[in-house]
Amino acid sequence: MRLSAYFLPTLKENPTEAQIVSHRLMLRAGMIRQASAGIYSWLPLGFRVLKRIEQIVREEQDRAGCQEVLMPTIQSADLWKKSGRYDDYGKEMLRILDRHDREMLYGPTNEELITDIFAASVRSYKELPRMLYHIQWKFRDEVRPRFGIMRGREFLMKDAYSFDLDFAGAKRAYHKFFVAYLRTFARMGLKAIPMAADPGPIGGDMSHEFIILAETGESAVYCHKGYTEFDVLARDVDYEDDLEPIVEHWTSLYAATDEKHDAARFEQIPPDQRVATRGIEVGHVFYFGTKYSKPLNAVVSTPSGEQVPVHGGSYGIGVSRLVGAVIEASHDDAGIIWPDAVAPFKVGLINLKAGDTACTGACDDIYGKLRNAGIEVLYDDRDERPGAKFAEFDLIGLPWQLIVGPRGIAAGKVELKRRATGERQELSIDAALAQVTA
């Protein structure tokens, strides 16, 4: 993509409405634009990151054996009346009347709808277990939408649902999602710690929140420092194996959100190993047994012919929130530092002298080669001051900057800068290409 033709409305000044760094940087880097309170449009750069994150979430759900569906954003109130949540949800639910005065709503979550879909077609234990997910926009009329897309009113969520014959089966499903979540967040370069959590309006008996430690997080959290040294991607996971040992390992040390915090237990941890900080909730898993299957009549026959309600769980990931969470975890004073896996482009190709034939010839050539190699590159072909270009590329945080200037090119050299470390190398064009395509 040529920057001269790209819609990238960056801001030079810090927007005053942004209280936390990710919100500030997303606005400054031209990733999002507020449409109304807690509701955002995603501009090209932001949308690319959102899609990358969504794709990692999708791949790890698929790997765990969960199947993708797509349910609508607008739901009928009927099912919610059956589950009892039409009243429970209160003002957070956006209620809509259609032209026939039928009560509709913009879905804040999908337990009712998916349970109804399941109940309509599954009859026997032989069709279990099942795991379904979708990635769809949700609406919650939050009292205080804030921090940009971190606590929006409209936000993109991955929500998955499991259906099992009994508690033992539901626990296996819970473990699958638990492990899939560890892998998902680690692939984005994030350290997410599972913490015992309050199930809130979803209900149920077993629940963990996956938390990224960050001073700017909304929740107060308490955990053992040991978690920061755990490495999950080192393990290859077979989802048919017993995953309990992994879950046990990841719940072996103390970790709890504010609502579940047990000060006495926390104080048993040696003082230098205690972490009391704030965190960003990027995922939440729940086991809720028959809370939805009973009222919505999702029953199956057992091997002995008995009719029983299925055991369910739901498993959410804040896909749009993750964009902000990654920035909170990875930035410096100059701007964003995208981890390779979620970067909107891998390389920024910077032509320092757009009017110079040698520079432009070399850049055009490099641009063509990178594109042919399938590398996503943002090519700054504009006639701007080098200082402004450097600042803009540091702000938008692409992993590599490949800088082409007249002096270097006369000697057949370009400069390659790694955004994360600031390390710069003078290389031949071929050597630079080899590094960024490796």
Residues in contact with ligand 5CA by the rule CB under 6 A: 109, 111, 140, 142, 151-152, 155, 157, 159, 202, 281-284, 314-316, 318, 320-321
C-beta closer to ligand 5CA: residue 76 or 437: 76
* CB-based contacts of 417, cutoff 8 Å, min separation 6: 400, 401, 402, 403, 423, 424, 425
* Residue 212 one-letter amino acid: I
C-beta closer to ligand 5CA: residue 309 or 316: 316
What DSSP letter does each residue of 62-73 carry, written as one string?
Answer: HHTT-EE----S
CB of 128 to ligand 5CA, least distance (A): 19
Residue 161, token pair as written in the block? 């649902």
Residue 230, token pair as written in the block? 């755990």
C-beta closer to ligand 5CA: residue 250 or 315: 315
Cβ-count burial of 212 within 10 angstroms (0-12 exposed, 13-18 middle, 19+ buried)? buried
Q: Please tell me the distance from the alpha carbon of residue 367 to that of residue 374, in angstroms, as a whole number.
A: 11
C-beta closer to ligand 5CA: residue 52 or 417: 52
Q: How many CB atoms lie within 10 A of CB 340?
A: 11
What residues pair up with 106 in beta bridges, in sequence order?
Answer: 74, 94
CB of 38 to ligand 5CA, least distance (A): 7
Q: Please tell me the distance from the alpha carbon of residue 98 to that of residue 175, in angstroms, as a whole number.
A: 41
Q: Which element (helix H / strand E) includes 392?
A: helix 386-396
CB of 152 to ligand 5CA, least distance (A): 4
CB of 160 to ligand 5CA, least distance (A): 6
C-beta closer to ligand 5CA: residue 142 or 364: 142
C-beta closer to ligand 5CA: residue 290 or 360: 290
CB of 102 to ligand 5CA, least distance (A): 24
Tell me the residue nearest to ligand 5CA as measured from the CB: 318
Identify which of 139, 141, 90, 133 has the alpha carbon closest to the alpha carbon of residue 113.
Answer: 133
* CB-based contacts of 430, cutoff 8 Å, min separation 6: none
Identify which of 8, 16, 32, 6 has the alpha carbon closest to the alpha carbon of residue 324.
Answer: 32
Q: What is the DSSP letter of 189?
A: T
CB of 109 to ligand 5CA, least distance (A): 4
CB of 361 to ligand 5CA, least distance (A): 47
Q: How many CB atoms lie within 10 A of CB 7?
A: 9
C-beta closer to ligand 5CA: residue 108 or 397: 108
* Residue 59 one-letter amino acid: E
CB of 301 to ligand 5CA, least distance (A): 27
C-beta closer to ligand 5CA: residue 283 or 405: 283
Total number of residues shown for the chain: 438
CB of 185 to ligand 5CA, least distance (A): 11
Taking a C-beta distance cutoff of 8 angstroms, is the pair 57, 134 a contact?
A: no
C-beta closer to ligand 5CA: residue 111 or 392: 111
CB of 11 to ligand 5CA, least distance (A): 23
Q: What is the DSSP letter of 124?
A: B
Identify which of 405, 404, 378 has the alpha carbon closest to the alpha carbon of residue 392.
Answer: 378
Q: Coil, helix or strand for 303?
A: coil
Cis peptide before 108 (omega within 30 of 0): no
C-beta closer to ligand 5CA: residue 159 or 380: 159
